[in-house]
Amino acid sequence: MQEESLASAAMADAATQKYTADARPQTIALVDDDRNILATLSIGLHAEGFATRVYADGETALKALLENPPDLAIFDIKMPRMDGLELLKALRAQSRLPVIFLTSKDEEPDEALGLAMGADDYIAKPFSQRLLIARIRAILRRSELARAPLEDAAAPDVPDPIARGRLTLDPARHQVSWDGKAVSLTVTEFLILEALAVRPGVVKSRNQLMDAAYSEDVYVDDRTIDSHIKRLRRKFRAVDAEFSAIDTLYGAGYSFADG
């Protein structure tokens, strides 16, 4: 059975050769010790126009992801040698590559930890291919916008940097600093912070922050937003232990204080 699954995955990977250099399909890295899942996901993603690379363990994947980064990676949490959480921690030390976690229903604490460590999203098993594709496309759209080169600084559609007290955000370059010290954020974290900083003092509900950070075809629950907020605070406190600019109004949402 494993040989058949590996053959299926290999056939799916070989299918990417039909794309020309001009087509440049976006590449998704799949990291899972379940070869059936690797084969199924590869076939489904190729049908949607993506190229894939598959890895059966975290140690092998880490080296490849750093040396030749894909456009997005999907990690299973439970894997031998190096699990998904360890892989994400090691990756985040050197890269902001968008990452989606695959989790089981009994892995909720791991989901929260993964988001706190910098994962962009998670999907619980069993899941539909349609949902996974929607999540992938939403994150890739945001990532592309964040990486878009600044071709003309005078162009009217290029957003100006946002200065709020000690915070500076540059949406065009996806750069954030606090008191002049750089803070590295994932795409989702950046969009949530930007939504708060645009209107200081205004409380944004979790639903409003979801709308700012996720496309309409992607649903996330409240806990996801809370985890991203915790991660934001932790990152800013790494450069300023007294950071307290993101306020919580219990039962209502979050706001940014620029004082």
- CATH 3.40.50.720 is right for the domain spanning 162-256: no
**pTM for the structure as a whole:** 0.58
More confident position, 55 or 142: 55
Sign, CA dihedral 28-129-188-223, equals: negative
Tens of pLDDT, residue by residue over 54-73, are: 999 999 999 999 999 999 99
The CATH number for 2-147, chosen from 3.40.50.620, 3.40.50.2300, 3.90.550.10, 3.30.1370.100, is 3.40.50.2300
| Mean pLDDT value of segment 182-198 | 87
Tens of pLDDT, residue by residue over 196-249, are: 999 899 999 988 888 887 665 555 566 778 888 988 998 999 999 999 999 999
**φ and ψ at residue 171, rounded to 5 degrees:** -60, -35
- Domain spans in the chain, listed from the N-terminal domain onward: 2-147, 162-256
DSSP string, the chain: -HHHHHHHHHHHHHHGGGS-TTT---EEEEE-S-HHHHHHHHHHHHHTT-EEEEESSHHHHHHHHHHS--SEEEEES--SSS-HHHHHHHHHTT----EEEEE-GGGHHHHHHHHHTT-SEEEESS--HHHHHHHHHHHHHHHHHHH-----TT-TTSPPPEEETTEEEETTTTEEEETTEE----HHHHHHHHHHHTSTT--B-HHHHHHHHS-TT----HHHHHHHHHHHHHHHHHH-TT---EEEETTTEEEE---
At residue 31, the pLDDT reads 95
Residue 10 has pLDDT above 50, yes or no: no
Q: Give the distance between the most distant pair of CA atoms in the chain.
A: 62
